[in-house]
């Protein structure tokens, strides 16, 4: 992925692939939802909802007297998410940095599942989240931590090096993420209290290198290996296939992902 993230690379095919492989993000998201202690009747905002799988789960927690709204900047993914809509589950296009469609103190909880590292204006997004949360409202998010790249990324870097393509394009393939210290500072600047975070190790099992690459391309909405030509990508795919096959077990290809889960709340009035 390059340093400039484009939403224009997304396609209907990538959106469908993301939805089909969405169980990966869904499992990670359930680790995020638990500590938020979402209750029946609450109003919840899912920022970067993708195709809405996790929001649908949360809608089951709040029940018919609650409400869940999911937003995402990619219209193709919202189109799929709307197939999951119900009376208390709605989806709209939108960005974390601009929540002007929502009133002050509208939500009991806001979460971003593997989304915050994509947000360009993180301080602006946190200010908006703080505004739309009720006093005492909870925020939860998970992000990559640049100090602990995913196992698939480490293997990808090795594959690129083995093909002899590790030139300046390798340097433009950063790990998008935030350290604990960076998150703590951002949360404090945004007015949040009781910050806590934990780096968790999660294991994804892929069928083969093709399923791994499909997931990587879909979850990055097209911003994946875009600096390489089609023939170079095929070279990288071959080298990566050889590397990941060394990890094969009877269940498939288990690869570790490392996500930092962070939580805080908006102070109650007068605190």
Q: Is the pTM of this model over 0.75?
A: yes
Over residues 161-213, the pLDDT tens digits come to 888 887 645 544 455 789 999 999 999 999 999 999 999 999 888 888 887 77
Alpha-helix runs per DSSP H in 91-150: 122-132
What is the CATH number assigned to the segment(s) 12-265? 3.40.50.150
Over residues 16-39, the pLDDT tens digits come to 555 555 566 777 888 999 999 999
Contacts of 52 (CB under 8 A, 6+ apart): 46, 70, 80, 81, 82, 83, 84, 89, 91
Mean pLDDT of the chain, nearest integer: 86
Judged by average pLDDT, the poorest of 12-21, 102-111, 257-266 is 12-21
- Provide the pLDDT confidence category of residue 43 given band limits of 50, 70 and 90: very high
Mean pLDDT score, 89-116? 96
Residue ranges covered by each domain of the chain: 12-265
Over residues 201-228, the pLDDT tens digits come to 998 888 888 877 776 765 654 456 777 7
pLDDT at 61: 97
Report the candidate in 33, 192, 27, 194 with the shortest Cα–Cα distance to residue 125: 192
């Amino acid at each position: 992925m390059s340093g400039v993230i484009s939403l224009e690379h997304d396609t209907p095919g990538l959106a469908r692939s993301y939805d089909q492989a969405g169980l990966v993000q869904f499992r990670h998201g359930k680790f995020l939802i638990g500590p938020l202690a979402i209750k029946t009747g609450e109003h919840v905002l899912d920022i970067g909802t993708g195709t809405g799988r996790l929001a649908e789960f949360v809608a089951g927690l709040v029940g018919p007297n609650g409400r869940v709204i999911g937003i995402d900047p990619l219209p193709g993914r919202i189109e799929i998410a709307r197939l999951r809509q119900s009376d208390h589950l709605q989806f709209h296009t939108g960005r974390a940095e601009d929540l002007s469609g929502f009133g002050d103190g509208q939500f009991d909880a806001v979460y971003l599942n593997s989304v915050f590292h994509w947000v360009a204006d993180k301080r602006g997004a946190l200010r908006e989240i703080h505004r739309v949360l009720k006093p005492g409202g909870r925020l939860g998010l998970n992000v990559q931590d640049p100090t602990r790249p995913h196992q698939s990324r480490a293997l990808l870097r090795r594959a690129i090096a083995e093909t002899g393509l590790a030139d300046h394009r390798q340097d433009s393939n950063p790990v998008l993420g935030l350290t604990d210290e960076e998150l703590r500072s951002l949360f404090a600047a945004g007015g949040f209290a009781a910050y806590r975070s934990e780096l968790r190790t999660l294991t994804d099992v892929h069928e083969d290198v093709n399923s791994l690459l499909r997931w990587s391309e879909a979850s990055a909405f097209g911003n994946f290996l875009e600096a390489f030509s089609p023939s170079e990508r095929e070279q990288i795919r071959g080298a990566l296939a050889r590397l990941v096959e060394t990890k094969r077990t009877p269940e498939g290809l288990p690869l570790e992902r490392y996500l930092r889960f962070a939580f805080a709340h908006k102070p109650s009035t007068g605190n």
